[in-house]
Structure 1
C-alpha cells in the first residue's frame, strides 16, 4: 500500500486568519508530505506494507511509529476544520460534553489549558473510551490516544510549526482561535 497526501476539502487560504495560507502550505503541503514520504519508505518490503495506518500506529515504534502517527494525526487535524466552522457541538456530542464538563465553555477551557500546558511539542486530544466516556489528554511528539485503546474525535496540534508563522510563541492564542474553524459535524460523526 502506498500512502498519498489527500487533497484538503478547502482552499489553502480558506482558514485565514485563524490559519494562514502560508502555514497551510508549509504545515500540510510540505511538512505532512514529508511524513507520508517517510512512512512509505519505512514500510516498503516489511510486514507493515499491507497494513492500514491505524494498525501501524498501534503496533510499531521508533521512526515508523513517529512517521505513521504524525501522518495520521495531521490528516485528522486538518480535516477537522472548515471555513464555515465554529459555533458549538450539537446532539449527542453536546450532551456528552455537558454531562462531563457541565458546559461547552468549561470543556473548551480545559482543552485549551491542557494543550497550553504540554511541555514541548505534541497534541491535545478529545477521545472516547470503549464506554463512550470522553477524555481530554495530551500526547508528546507523535503520540496518539489510539495506542491507549481510545478513539480520537478531536485534536489540536501544539507543535510550534502549527502556529509559529501566525502566532509566534502565543500557543494559547492559537488554541483559542481554532474553535472558530472547528467543523462540529465532522467531530460529532467521529463520536457516534
Structure 2
C-alpha cells in the first residue's frame, strides 16, 4: 500500500483459502475486503481536506494524533490504527509455518521473559481471552529488546507506549465468528498453528532501531 495518503488496501500475502482449515476463506475475505478496506476508506475520507497531513505515514498519524485538528483526530486515530493493526495481523500468519516456536534471538528473549515458548503461548492466549469486547493481544518489545504481552482495546496499538509489536492476534469477533461463533478459545488454539515465527523474529530484531518521530513532518 502507499506509505502516505491516499492509503491503499494492502493485498493479502496469501490466498483467501490458504489458512484453511484453521481460518476459513470466507472469514479471511470478509475480514480483509470489507473490514480492513473499510478502515482504509474511512482514513482517506478523514484526511481528504487536510493536505498538510498527506505526507504522514500510518505510524506518524498514530503517534502524532494530538497534532491533528480536533474534528478529525478520533477518526484518524481509529482508522489508522485499524489499517496498521490489520496489515500486521495478516502478516503474522502463514499457511506453512517453518516452526512451532521462535528461534534465534527471539527464542532467547522469549526464554528470558517467559521461561519457555509454551509459557508465552499461555500468557498471550490468556491476554486475548480476557480482552473484554473487541481488541487485540500483542507480543511487543521495548528499545532494549525486552518482551512483554499486552492487550489493547478497539484499534489501539502498542506504538504510543514506545513498544514495537512482534506478534499480534485480532480478537474482534469478525476475525473468527463465522467459523467459531463465540468460541474465542477455539479460534486462538487454531491461530497458533498459523503463526509465522520467521516474521516475528524479523520484527524482534528490528526492535531498538530507533523510534518513529513526528517532528519535522
**TM-score for both structures, normalised by structure 1:** 0.97
Alpha-carbon shift at residue 59 of structure 1 (Å): 1.8
Partner in structure 1 of residue 180 of structure 2: 167
**Counterparts of 1:10 and 1:2, CA distance in 2:** 24
Q: Structure 1 CA distance, aligned partners of 2:191 and 2:79?
A: 24
Work out which of the two has the higher radius of gyration on C-alpha atoms and give 1 or 2: 2
Name which of 35, 59, 65 aligns with 2:64: 59
Partner of residue 96, structure 2: 84
Unaligned runs of 5+ in 2: 66-72, 206-217
Partner of 1:28: 32
1:17 aligns with 2:29: no
Q: Which moved more, 1:175-184 or 1:67-76?
A: 175-184
Alignment size in residue pairs: 192
Unaligned stretches of 5+ in structure 1? Answer: none
The answer (yes or no) to whether the contact 2:135–2:155 under 8 Å persists in 1 is yes
Among 52, 55, 59, the residue aligned to 1:50: 55
1:48 to partner: Cα distance:
2.1
Show structure 1 runs of 4+ deviating over 2 A: none
Match status 1:124 vs 2:137: yes
Larger displacement relative to structure 2 (25-34 or 41-50): 41-50
* Cα distance in 1 between the residues matched to 2:166 and 2:8: 22
Give distance in 2, aligned partners of 1:164 and 1:48: 36
In the alignment, which residue of structure 2 is the partner of 1:135?
148
Q: Which residue of 1 aligns with 2:10?
A: 6
Equivalent residue number for residue 72 of structure 1: 84
Quote the Cα distance in structure 2 between the aligned partners of 1:187 and 1:43: 31
Question: Where does residue 162 of structure 2 map in the other structure?
Answer: 149
